[in-house]
Amino acid sequence: MSELELRQTTVEASAEHLEPRRRRMPRAGTVLAVAFVAFLAVATVAPSLVWTQDPNRIAAADAFESPSLAHWFGTDESGRDVYSRVIAGTATSLLIGVSATLIGLALGLVLGVLASFGGRALDFGVGRVIEVLFAFPGLLLALLVIVVAGPGPVTATIAVGLSTAPGYARIIRGQLVGIRSSHYVEAARVLGHSPGRILARHLLPNALVPLFVLATLGVGQAIVWAAALSYLGLGAQPPAAEWGAMLAAGRTYLATAPWLTVFPGLMIVGTTIATTMLGRALTRRGREGR
Amino acid sequence: MPLLDIAGLRVAFGDHEVVHGVSLRIDAGECVAIVGESGSGKSVTARALLGMAGAGARTRSDRLQVLGRELGDASERIWRDVRGRRVGLILQDALVSLDPLRPIGREIDDPLRIHERMPPAARRARVLELLARVGMPDPEFAAGRRSGELSGGLRQRALIASALALDPPLVIADEPTTALDVSVQARILSLLGEIRKAGTGILLISHDLAVVSRLADRILVMRRGEVIEEGAADDVLGSPREPYTRALIAAVPTDRPRGTALAVARSAPVAIPESPPAVVPTGSDAPERPPLLRFDRVAKGFSVPGGRLLAVDDVSLELRPGETLGLVGESGSGKTTVARLALGLTDPDSGVVLLDGEAWSSRPERERRPMRRRIGAIYQDALSSFDPRWSVGRILADAASVGARGTGRPAPRVEDLLDQVGLVASVAGRRPLNLSGGQRQRVAIARALAAEPDVLICDEPVSALDVTIQAQILDLLDRLQRRRGLAMLFISHDLGVVRHMSDHVAVMRSGRIVESGGTEAVFAEPRHPYTAQLVADAPRLTP
């Protein structure tokens, strides 16, 4: 073939519309979510930078003050500053949320990979185990773990992680089964790539990307669950400033001093929303390509 | 009075106008065709005639009359009365156009129930009459089937029956045969021909001039939202004025000898290239070379409800270096199973596949893997064959690394790979999702060649593309094959395409090769009646 012909094809092919890439401005909500998560990060790493006073300083004279300029979120029954306690509790709450999610994901990944690659018998076995775990309400499963291992923040974390694992496992299995029969995995096989390479480069990344969003949702969920356990007195113990424990401690004064429960609750809600929005924004970017 | 009379039709989405003033007139018993590539505005035009140009579309026109009634600013209620009763619509894919959960009898009954006051028994009789009219075998039985239980051709018939239910004087058919096998396509086209003969006006929308030439009385060629050429079918096909029309005509592969370019460079002064085919290594020197890929009495079956289906039944094939073997047959004939056997993705029940004289199908996967780069593949749906997370550059680099590992030569550069398939280097940074269909198929070809294979398996590589893009891709494959001396197994349901591309052909039906031999020998004088039928049905220009 002649070079001229070649050049003509090039012109034709590039004449097919190559639309310019669009770089979209981040949405306002995303900016807010980033700011909030950044604030949480600071509160986790160096809470003393953002709190206004020692979260455990007792001042009986200041008990039950409603929110004001001096005490942004008010004070509790011992006169401790609620804002500073919320900040102090960030590290514990986030740690519980994130580690519980990671535990759930890791366990789910193991179960999911086993089910989708371990052959028919293992798939059947893992499937039934997942179903049995599903049959228990999540919190009940967590309670079971705590009964066996005793209360405390570490047990609570593991318990919450365990109870979220079956959900992740089922999704990972479904993803892997779908992707394994996809055309691009077939194309990789045709090229002669080894199963290990296909697993590492195609299967796992594609299976885990959608899980990423789910995991950001899961972090919020895990915080709520851990808070629930703390609320029941099975997780973090007073006077620790964990958000769930604060909710539990404040419930007695719900009618007279609602700020004791409202602000820790708002933090839980805010964190869940912010991580979810971040996760969504990240997947959106991933989907739109570079 | 014309059935349809429009003038100066404009359709815009937001500030973006996609149809710039189309005028069109259809009389009773006349078939007018709009031809153009995807994105030319032909489908939007057709939809605007039904008041359904789409969400956010603004339609303006100097005149928009259906059966003498001005509908330029008609309300949705008036449009609903027009649709179905006055104008019937036939869409491309009956599978998505028919409700999968309802029997087709109910689907066809819908317009009767909504628009007519008929007792149920009379409607039932009408449904069966319609199904019989569109040539549905055993209408009683078919009426109770859901669309998913019918073949593509029967499904399309059912859709046509539902469009004809109210005897509309005008029928709009938008790519009515694009998803179908050639033989089914021929039957659907002759069915539309009969409808026209009965006095119905037809507006036919297609990207394929060969389809249009069988039916149309007048042809409008659309490009970028404008009608650039229009006239009687014979004039447009016989003596086209516009270069673009000539390119569309040139793109039809049927009856174009192997080695002739199909795509006309748009910038060049246009004459349809009639250059003789380059020297093809066939005939006398071919037998001296041992076959690269050989099927020896291969059979492969699948378990289906109620027994076993032999998808490939006692198939023997030989593919030599530098040669194209065309495999043609309807969907379900076992062509794709042959491709999968050749690629070593599935193993035969009996018989063997040999690669370059060595065992291929009988090898354990571990031994087969290092040999895999010698056989490349191109699929019908290029997009789904790319990891959605990967950029074009990463896809190609990944494939090139395989070639480097196998041959010991340095891996070809991504830019060079893109260049040889006629893509600019900047495509490397993009994802396949953001490319057009033709560009995606070029990337797929570049990937297949990156591993430096000896054999290329092409499974319906162009059947999802417009004819003009198809022409470019076929030309590209042909050139690359010549340059690299590739052996190519070219699988298609489209006999015109196979005939244009192949040195040898094998005609497949129900898992068996019914006829094979040199391309011209087989198609010039088909011995098997099925081959003769395929030849007769191939879409060709019939001016």
Of all residues in chain A, the percent with pLDDT exceeding 70 is: 89
B458: enclosing H helix or E strand? strand B455-459
Is A123 among the domain residues?
yes
Q: Does B451 reach chain A within 8 Å, measured CB to CB?
A: yes
Residue B221 — left, alpha, or beta (φ > 0 → left; ψ -120 to 50 → alpha)? Answer: beta
DSSP symbol at B428? G
Residue A202 is assigned to a structural domain of this protein = yes
Across the interface, of B369, B421, B442, the residue whose CB is closest to A192 is B369
CB burial readout B272-303, b (16+ within 10 A) else e: eeeeeeeebebeeebeeeebbbbbeebbbbee
Is residue A263 included in any domain, yes or no? Answer: yes
Question: pLDDT tens digits, residue range A192-204?
Answer: 898 889 988 999 8
pLDDT at A254 over 60: yes
Residues 26-55, chain B: which have Cβ within 8 Å of A?
A: 39
Residue A194: list chain B partners with CB under 8 A: 369
The Cα B410–Cα B421 span in angstroms is 20
Interface of B with A in 338-367 (CB under 8 A): 343, 345
Secondary structure of B176-242 in HEC code, one letter for each residue: CCCCCCHHHHHHHHHHHHHHHHCCCEEEEEECCHHHHHCCCCEEEEEECCEEEEEEEHHHHHHCCCC
Nearest to B422 among A12, A191, A202 (CB): A12
Does residue A20 belong to the interface with chain B, where contact is any CB pair within 8 Å? no
Closest-CA residue in chain B for A8? B265
Query: What is the number of structural domains in chain A?
Result: 1
Q: What is the CATH number of the domain that holds A193?
A: 1.10.3720.10
**pLDDT for residue B275:** 38
- pLDDT category, A13, cuts 50, 70, 90? very low
Amino acid making up residue B52: M
**Mode of pairing for the β-strands spanning B218-223 and B226-232:** antiparallel
Residue with the larger pLDDT of the pair A15 and B77: B77
In a domain, A43, yes or no: no
Q: What DSSP letter does each residue of chain A carry, written as one string? A: --HHHHHHHHHHHHHS--PPPP-PPPPHHHHHHHHHHHHHHHHHH-HHHH-SS-TT---GGGTTPPS-SSSTT-B-TT--BHHHHHHHHHHHHHHHHHHHHHHHHHHHHHHHHHHHHSHHHHHHHHHHHHHHHHHS-HHHHHHHHHHHH-SSHHHHHHHHHHHHHHHHHHHHHHHHHHHHTSHHHHHHHHHT--HHHHIIIIIHHHHHHHHHHHHHHHHHHHHHHHHHHHHTTSSSPTTS--HHHHHHHHGGGTTT-THHHHHHHHHHHHHHHHHHHHHHHHHHHHHH--
Question: Strand pairing partners for B58?
Answer: B12
Q: What is the pLDDT of residue A23?
A: 53
Higher pLDDT among residues A11 and B262, named by residue: B262
Which range has the worst mean pLDDT, B149-153, B376-380, B424-428? B149-153
The domain containing residue A262 runs over which residues? 85-288
Residues in contact with A5: Cβ distance below 8 Å, sequence separation at least 6, in sequence order: B261, B479
Within a domain: A56? no
pLDDT by residue (tens digit) across A139-159?
Answer: 788 888 888 888 888 888 888
**Cα–chain-centroid distance for residue B455?**
24
Radius of gyration of chain A (CA): 25
Assign B94 a pLDDT band (cuts: 50, 70, 90). Answer: low
Distance to chain A for B416, nearest Cα, Å = 12
- The DSSP string of A174-215 is HHHHHHHTSHHHHHHHHHT--HHHHIIIIIHHHHHHHHHHHH
CB-based contact B431 A183, cutoff 8 Å = no
First-to-last C-alpha distance (Å) of chain B:
28
Query: Per-residue pLDDT for A185 more than 90?
Result: yes
The verdict on residue A203 lying in a domain is yes
Residues of chain B with CATH 3.40.50.300: 30-38+76-241, 292-537
- With respect to residue A41, please indicate whether it lies within any of the assigned structural domains: no
CATH number of B292-537: 3.40.50.300
Which fold, B30-38+76-241? Rossmann fold (3.40.50)
**Does the pLDDT of residue A45 top 80, yes or no?**
yes
Q: Of A106-110, B74-78, B457-461, B514-518, where does mean pLDDT reach its minimum?
A: B74-78
Phi, psi at residue A55, to the nearest 5°? -65, -20
Cβ contact, residue pair A189, B439, below 8 Å: no
